[in-house]
Amino acid sequence: MTFNLRLSAPLRHGLIINLVLIAMVLVTAMLLVRWQYTSRNLFVALEKSEAASRQLAGHHASALAEKRQLTSPARIERLASENLGMRAIAPPVTVYLTQP
């Protein structure tokens, strides 16, 4: 069986344009879906990075607090007196220099 479809030239051009447009719509629709997917993945990655950044900031705060605790006068005084046998200075064992 054969079909002999004869279309006029303007109709044929219109059909071709429509087909091209349909193809473009399909392609852009698929691209849109793909970009949305990529965008969401990137967003999730960004969220993870931000969470990691917050965690690191937390670690930094903890480290600073720990450092401060390790250098607190109470600890230094205890270590100096117990481990090194040091004592707090007093005027009789201090040399005061006068600025010329």
Partner 1 sequence: MKPQFTHFTSSPLLASKTPLWRSKLVVLVFGIAFAGLGARAAYVQVIHQSFYQRQGEIRFARTLEIPANRGRLLDRGGQMMASNVPALGVWAIPEDINSSLQSHPEKLPALAKLLGLRVPELQQKLAQEDRSFVWLRRQMDASLGSDIQTLNLDGLYTRVESRRQYPEGEAAATITGLVNNDGKGIEGIELAFDQALSGQSGSRRVIKDRMGRVVEDVGDRVVPVDGQDIHLTIDNKIQFFAFQKLKEAVIDQRAKSGSVVILDVQTNEVLAMVNYDAASGKTNPMRNRALADSFEPGSVMKPLTISLALERGIVTPKTTFQTAPGYITVTGSKITDSHVHGVLSVEQIIEKSSNVGTVKIAQQIPYKDMWAFYSLVGLGQKPALPFPGAVGGRLRAYQSWRPVEQATMSYGYGLSVSLFQLAQAYSVLANDGELVAPRLIQSDAPATRERVMSAVHARAVRRMLHLAAGPEGTAPKAQVDGYTVGGKTGTSHKQEGRGYAAKKYRSTFVGMAPIDTPRIVVAVSIDEPSNGKYFGGEVAAPVFSQTVGQTLRLLGIQPDRAVKPQIAIKSVEEST
* 37-40-45 Cα angle (round to 5): 125
When binding is defined by CB under 8 A, the residue of 5, 9, 84, 90 that contacts partner 1 is 90
- The answer to whether 91 contacts partner 1 (rule: CB under 8 A) is yes
The Cα diameter of the chain in Å comes to: 123
Q: Which amino acid does the sequence have at 47? A: E
Report in angstroms how near the CB of residue 16 gets to partner 1 at its nearest: 26
Whether the CB-CB separation of 60 and 53 falls below 8 Å is answered with no
- Interacting positions 20-79 with partner 1 (CB under 8 A): 40, 43-44, 47, 55, 58-59, 61-62, 64-65, 68-69, 72-74, 77
DSSP structural state of residue 98: P
* Binding stretches for partner 1 (CB under 8 A): 40, 43-44, 47, 55, 58-59, 61-62, 64-65, 68-69, 72-74, 77, 88-96
